[in-house]
Amino acid sequence: MEKTNSLIHGVLLETKLNDEEEKKGRRFGLLTDHLYVYKRSALSHALIQQYDNMRNIEKQIMLANCVVNIHNPNLPEISEAKQKAFQLAKTVYEKTLKLKERRLIFEKEEIDLYRKFVHNLYEKSNDDKELKDLSDGYTWIAKKFEEISITHLEEEEIERIDEETDEKMARLVAICRENEPMDEENLEKFYKWRALKKEKKESEQELELSHRKLSDETRKFRNIFLDRYETLNEIEKEFISIGCSGELLPIAMTEASKLFLLEITDRSFVVDKALIAYIEGLNRGFQSILMFRKHFPPSIPRSYEDDIYIQLFEVNDDTDFVQNVFSQYAFNW
C-alpha cells in the first residue's frame, strides 16, 4: 500500500501541466502527450489497486451487508446456491483481471518502445535539454509501470488470450466484409477498423444497459428487503399482542424467518445475474481494447494512415465526418 500511495503521489506531482506552456512552442508535442497519457494511466492503475473488487462482489452476492444469515442449518440449499453464484461471478471477474493484465503488458511494451526511441534521439543530440527531460520522463514512467501488476499471467495464458482475441477479430472482420462488400483491394486494415469501431460501440451500449439493469435490480431488491423486514417485525409484534410467547414465539418466528429468507435470497439471485452480466460486459469492452491495441499498435514513426484510424476510433461512427473522410481518402493512400 505504501508503494501504491507513493506512486499516486509521484504521478500527481509529475502530471501537473501548465496549459499555456504545453500548447505553445513544443518541438516534441506528440511524445510529450503520450508521456502524459501514460502517467495518467499509471495513476488510474494505482487507484484501482487500492480496491478489493473481488471482496466487494463476494459481500454483495453473499448478502454480507444485510441482516440476513444465509447459512441457515435448516436451509442448506440456500447457502450452497449463493456459493455457486459467487463462484460463477468469481470466474467471470478473474477473466476481467486477466484481460486487464494483458492490456497492461501492451502498455509496458508501448512505453518501452517510446523510451528507446526518445533515448536514441537524445543520444544523437547535442545534450538537448528538452530531449533529456523527455528521456528521463519515459525512463521514470517505465519503472513505475514495472511496479504495477493486476494479476499473474503465465505465458500460455497470454497466448490463449491472444488466440481468443484473434479469433474474435477474424469473426468481426468476416461479418463486416459480408455486410459491407467492396471491390477495392488492400482494405484489410479498413475492415479491421470498421469491425472494431462497431464492436466498441455495441460493447459500450451493452455495458450501459447492463449497468442500468444492475442498478434497477439492486434498488428493487433493497426496497423488497426493507418491506419484508418491516413485515417480519410486525409479525413478531402481532404474535406478542395475541399472547404468543414463551416457547411458541421462537417457533413461530423461526418459521416466519424461513419464509423471509427464502423470498429474499430468491430475489437476490436476480441481482446476482445482473451483476455477472455487467462483469461480462466489462470483459467484452476490455477485449475490444486488446484487439485495437494488437491490430493498431504504436509505431515510430507512425504512418499517416494509422494516425487517421487511431483518431477516428474515438469519433462517433454515426457522424458524417467519418463517412466523408473515408469516401475521400480511404482508398487513395
* pLDDT, tens digit, 9 for 90 and up, residues 19-58: 444 444 567 888 898 899 999 999 888 887 777 789 999 9
Alpha helices by DSSP H, listed for the chain, are 2-14, 19-23, 29-48, 53-61, 76-124, 129-146, 155-179, 188-241, 248-295, 304-312, 320-329
Q: How many CB atoms lie within 10 A of CB 46?
A: 22
**pLDDT band at residue 140 using 50, 70 and 90 as cut-offs:** very high
Region of residue 120 (phi > 0: left; psi between -120 and 50: alpha; otherwise: beta)? alpha
pLDDT, tens digit (0-9, with 9 covering 90-100), for 141-182: 999 999 999 999 999 999 999 999 999 999 999 999 999 888
Is residue 318 situated within a structural domain?
no
Contacts of 80 (CB under 8 A, 6+ apart): none
Who has greater pLDDT, 236 or 220? 220
* Nearest by Cα to 291 from 134, 160, 127, 165: 165
The pLDDT score that the predictor gives to residue 142 is 97
State the total domains in the chain: 1
Is residue 263 situated within a structural domain?
yes
Q: How far apart are CA 207 and CA 221, in angstroms?
A: 21
Is residue 213 situated within a structural domain?
yes
Q: How far apart are CA 298 and CA 114, in angstroms?
A: 9
Is residue 311 situated within a structural domain?
no
Average pLDDT, the chain: 83
**Is residue 141 within 8 Å of residue 39, measured between CB atoms?**
yes
**Cell 536514441 identifies what position?**
120
Is residue 160 situated within a structural domain?
yes
Q: How far apart are CA 254 and CA 252, in angstroms?
A: 5
Q: How far apart are CA 12 and CA 40, in angstroms?
A: 8
The pLDDT score that the predictor gives to residue 329 is 30
Does pLDDT of 110 surpass 80? Answer: yes
**Is residue 101 within 8 Å of residue 150, measured between CB atoms?**
yes
**pLDDT band at residue 256 using 50, 70 and 90 as cut-offs:** confident
Who has greater pLDDT, 308 or 224? 224
Measured CA to CA in angstroms, residue 203 lies from 140, 168, 331 at distances of 34, 14, 28
pTM reported for the whole predicted model:
0.80
* Nearest by Cα to 94 from 157, 156, 41: 157
Burial (CB count <10 Å: 0-12, 13-18, 19+), residue 152: exposed
Is residue 310 situated within a structural domain?
no
Q: Domain span at residue 59?
A: 2-302
Contacts of 285 (CB under 8 A, 6+ apart): 200, 203, 204, 207
* Nearest by Cα to 291 from 205, 169, 175, 170: 169
Is residue 327 situated within a structural domain?
no
Whole-number percent of the chain with pLDDT over 70: 82
Long-range CB contacts (< 8 A, 24+ apart) of 151-155?
Answer: 151/94, 151/97, 151/98, 151/100, 151/101, 152/101, 153/98, 153/101, 153/102, 153/105
Nearest-10 Cα torsion for 235, 241, 246, 252: -20
Residue type, 187: L
